[in-house]
Amino acid sequence: MTYCVGMLLKAGIVMLSDSRTNAGVDNISTYCKMTIWENPGERVIVAMSAGNLAITQSAIQLMNEGNPHGDTRTSMKTVSSMTEAARLAGWALREVDRVDGAALRASGTGFSAALIIGGQIKGRQMRMFNVYAEGNFIQAMPETPYLQIGEFKYGKPIIDRVVRQDTPLLTAAKCGLVSMDSTVKSNLTVAPPIDLMIYEHDSLKVKVHQVMEDDDPYWNAVRKAWSDGLRDRFQKLPDPPWVM
């Protein structure tokens, strides 16, 4: 499985993904699930993927090579808006489905994939999309400024509590790490290295791209501080009126 979360904030974009891939419990590997197309001063587009790795790797490859249909060959390096980027991602998934889908369904594997595509192109708005396996998509909006794919439930409560559209980037990044920690702690199929990307509104370049291994000092400092903090605050919860 996988856990990826993206946040579209007034101040910019924060995206995190884990790196565990598994085909059954005895076939566990590490694959980066974050792909960045950056042309400083012109565009930053970031994709994160969940689901069948063969499908998402093929789709990312197609987004990179570009769609040969239409007037020009459009890739993530040339799309003129983030909505076009989402459409390209949707086209890529449908293209993989066209080629591989029948065989996958015939074997009972099914066609499972999801992408989060976020970023900004010069002169255009920042946007973030959740692209479904079917190739259609939704976008993050002010009321719900975050998108999750994969094993999203364990890490959702803390995001619901903390993240609003005006949350600062660093706070959102910390919240993403705490959300990832809760998921890693409760689900074996989600694990470091953690890819963390921070983009500042209108900067048109990646501000932070950290790959945090299991022994990363900051990742572990956050985990420990959060764990200690939770225990501490937990101890301070009020006693019930029916106290024993």
User: Can you give the binding site for a copy of itself, defined by CB under 8 A?
Assistant: 151, 153-158, 160-162, 169-171, 173-175, 178, 182-183, 185-186, 198, 207-208, 210, 217-218, 221-222, 225-227, 229-234, 236-244
Give the shortest CB-150-to-a copy of itself separation in angstroms: 12
Q: What is the chain's Cα-based Rg?
A: 19
* Residue number, 64 or 171, with CB nearest to a copy of itself: 171
Check if the beta carbon of residue 9 is closer than 8 Å to that of residue 167: yes
**Is the CB of 116 or the CB of 190 nearer to a copy of itself?**
190
DSSP 8: E
What are the phi and psi torsion angles at 65 (to 5°)?
A: -75, -35
- CB nearer a copy of itself, residue 1 or residue 104: 1
Work out how close the CB of 9 gets to a copy of itself at its nearest, in angstroms, rounded to a whole number: 13
| Comparison of 91 and 154: residue with beta carbon closer to a copy of itself | 154
**Spatial distance between the Cα atoms of 204 and 202, rounded to a whole number of angstroms:** 6
Extract the tokens encoding 116. Answer: 């989060």
CB 197, min distance to a copy of itself, A: 12
| Calpha distance 62→24 (Å, rounded) | 27
Nearest distance, CB of residue 73 and a copy of itself, angstroms = 36
The 3-state DSSP class for residue 108 equals coil
